[in-house]
Amino acid sequence: MIKNIVFSNLLVSLSASFLYSISCLFFDLKILNELILIVFCSTFSFYNLISLKSVNNMIDIKREWILNNFNFIKMSTLLTAIISILLIIKLNLFTLLSPVIFLSLFYNYPIIELLNFKKNLRKIPFLKIFIIVFCWTYLTYLFPIFYNDLNFDVNVIIHLIIRSLFLFSIAINFDIRDKESDLIVTIPTFLGQKKSKILSCSLLLICELLALYLFIFHSLNFLCFLALYLTFEIGLILTYFINKNSKELYFSFYIESLSILMFILVYIATIIF
DSSP per residue over 209-248, as a string?
Answer: HHHHHHHHHSS--HHHHHHHHHHHHHHHHHHHT--TT--H
Residues recorded for the chain? 273
Is the pLDDT at 149 greater than 90? The verdict is: yes
Q: How far apart are CA 128 and CA 135, in angstroms?
A: 11
Is the pLDDT at 120 greater than 80? The verdict is: no
Q: In whole numbers, what is the pLDDT of the chain averaged over residues?
A: 91
- Looking at residue 242, its pLDDT comes to 96
For residue 150, the SS3 value is coil
Q: What is the pLDDT of residues 165-197, one digit of tens each?
A: 999 999 999 999 988 776 688 899 899 999 999
- Looking at residue 65, its pLDDT comes to 86
Give one DSSP letter per residue of 40-66, joined into a string: HHHHHHHHHHHHHHSGGGS-HHHHHHH
Number of domains, the chain: 1
Q: How far apart are CA 267 and CA 193, in angstroms?
A: 34
What are the φ/ψ torsions at residue 112 (nearest 5 degrees)? -115, 125
Q: What is the pLDDT of residues 193-210, one digit of tens each?
A: 999 999 999 999 999 999
Percent of the chain, pLDDT > 90?
A: 74
Q: Does the pTM of the predicted model rise above 0.85? A: yes
- Looking at residue 218, its pLDDT comes to 80
Mean pLDDT throughout 53-58? 72
Is the pLDDT at 110 greater than 90? The verdict is: no
Spatial CB neighbours of 59, under 8 Å, sequence gap ≥ 6: 181, 248
What are the φ/ψ torsions at residue 268 (nearest 5 degrees)? -60, -40
- Looking at residue 184, its pLDDT comes to 80
Is the pLDDT at 113 greater than 50? The verdict is: no
Q: What is the pLDDT of residues 220-236, one digit of tens each?
A: 999 999 999 999 999 99
Q: How far apart are CA 111 and CA 124, in angstroms?
A: 11
Q: Identify residue 83 by its one-letter amino acid code.
A: I
| Domain carrying residue 111 | 2-272
Q: What is the pLDDT of residues 56-108, one digit of tens each?
A: 766 667 888 888 898 999 999 999 999 999 999 999 999 999 999 998 888 77
- Looking at residue 59, its pLDDT comes to 65
Which 8-state DSSP code applies to residue 135? H
Q: How far apart are CA 51 and CA 105, in angstroms?
A: 14
